[in-house]
Structure 1
Amino acid sequence: MANRQSFTHRIRVEAHAVWLAVRDPRTPLFAKLVGLLVGAYALSPIDLIPDFIPVLGLVDDAVLIPLGVWLFEKLVPAGLMTEHRAAAEAASQRPVSRWGVAIVIALWALIALVVYEFLMLGYD
């Protein structure tokens, strides 16, 4: 179980480092686009293969995110990812903001409600 936690932690740190590097002005535009895709996929609750599908649901995260981070790292200047990885690792040691989690959940619920209402307009 410790390996799974450390792998999960590593994925979270890598995704955060990519997010930090995307916001860095030293990052080339194409790398920023790749980084945005990697970050959006890593942080999105919507997966290419849903997590509830046995084995395959978790394998896509375990393959696609590291592959995207590897590609992103190849596109940025040398040392840039190392710098942002250190910042992301330091940030991972801080406590989690419960308000931040609540806001994200509320936003997703609001989006789901708006989509539901939009889809139900045709049935009234």
Structure 2
Amino acid sequence: MFANTLKTLKAWARRLKANLILLWVCCRQPDIPWLPKTVALVTVAYALSPIDLIPDFIPLLGYLDDVILLPLGIALAMRSIPAPLLARCRPQAETMAGQRLSLKGRWIMAALFVLIWLALAWAVAEAVWRR
């Protein structure tokens, strides 16, 4: 029973990864509408961000946001992207999902993530201290 559950969880995680890559490939297309692009980018950014809504060190609740929010974001983005665009991007995403992704030269994106989270933390701290 435990082995079947583990296999199911691994398959689910692979589908999530493949869908995140598909969302990223779709976002890079020039003909994607702005609303699905925004939803997809926020979902991918949340998945890649090292900072969670609920920190992972909190027992059970820390992983609950990843188990609930991430699939919901993926489902919402996938439903809002036009089907022909998804079909056109799926082969490239499947190819990328089978490869190990190289992050070489992506330090600018990592720095951007850090700056965004620092700006958000600063804004929250300012709002709390002004009270």
- TM-score under structure 2 normalisation? 0.67
Alignment RMSD: 2.6
Alpha-carbon distance, 1:38 to partner: 0.6
Aligned length: 108
Question: Which of structure 1's runs of 4+ aligned residues deviate more than 4 A?
Answer: 101-104
Q: Which residue of structure 2 aligns with residue 4 of structure 1?
A: 9
Q: Could you tell me the percent identity over the aligned residues?
A: 36
**Residue 30 in structure 1 maps to residue 30 in structure 2:** no
* 1:57 paired residue among 41, 62, 69: 62
CA distance in 1 between partners of 2:66 and 2:91 (Å): 22
Query: Structure 2 matches for 1:32-111, cutoff 5 A?
Result: 32-97=37-102, 100=103, 107=110
Task: Check whether the contact 1:13–1:92 (CA below 8 A) recurs between aligned residues.
Answer: yes
Query: Could you list the per-position Cα deviations for residues 39-78 of structure 1 after superposition, in whole angstroms to 9, with x for gaps in the alignment?
Result: 1101111111112222222221121111112111222212
Structure 2: gaps of 5 or more residues: 1-5, 119-131
Distance 1:83 1:58, change over 3 A: farther
Query: Which residue type is aligned with residue 65 of structure 1?
Result: L
Which residues of structure 1 form unaligned runs of 5+? Answer: 116-124
Q: Is the 8 A contact 1:14 1:85 kept in 2?
A: no
Aligned partners of 2:105 and 2:54: how far apart in 1? 25
TM-score (norm 1): 0.70
SS of the residue corresponding to residue 50 of structure 1 reads coil
